[in-house]
Amino acid sequence: MAYWFLRGLGHGIVTTRYPKAIDVWTQTLPTPPAFHSDRLTLALADRLVAVCPSRALAREADELVVDLGACTACGRCIDEGRGAVEASGVFELASTSRERLVKRVRIGGGAG
Ligand code: SF4
């Protein structure tokens, strides 16, 4: 931290380039959930919605709506998911389009 502060003083406001390679330690970071559509039921989807503290999940009819822009990767839905939910392993989610962060998962399988 002190290095970056002193560097900023010496060179003015600076930012660094995005890294070309992803560090190995980042594999331990919590990541947003991925859902197995065919393992989801309406009851399970409702439980997932209920445990999500950031309201990143909602059910609309037979779809689970996942707002990755609101997800904090807390893991509660993964714990509750009973094999239907797992960590995606993906943390590079930046997008210039808010809509691209909202995913729809068909409950019970099938195209969504
Ligand atoms: S990881 Fe946490 S914040 Fe993200 S969808 Fe699951 S319960 Fe919600």
- Quote the pLDDT of residue 92: 84
- Quote the pLDDT of residue 110: 53
74 Cβ closer than 6 Å to some ligand 1 atom: yes
- Quote the pLDDT of residue 85: 98
Any bridge partners for residue 95, and if so which? none
Counting as low any pLDDT under 70, the low residues of the chain are: 1, 109-112
Nearest CA to ligand 1 atom 7: 52
Q: Please, what are the domains in the chain?
A: 26-106 (3.30.70.3270)
Spatial CA neighbour of 104 closest among 57, 42, 55 = 57
Question: Which pTM was predicted?
Answer: 0.81
- Quote the pLDDT of residue 80: 97
CA 95 to ligand 1 center in whole angstroms: 19
CA 26 to ligand 1 center in whole angstroms: 19
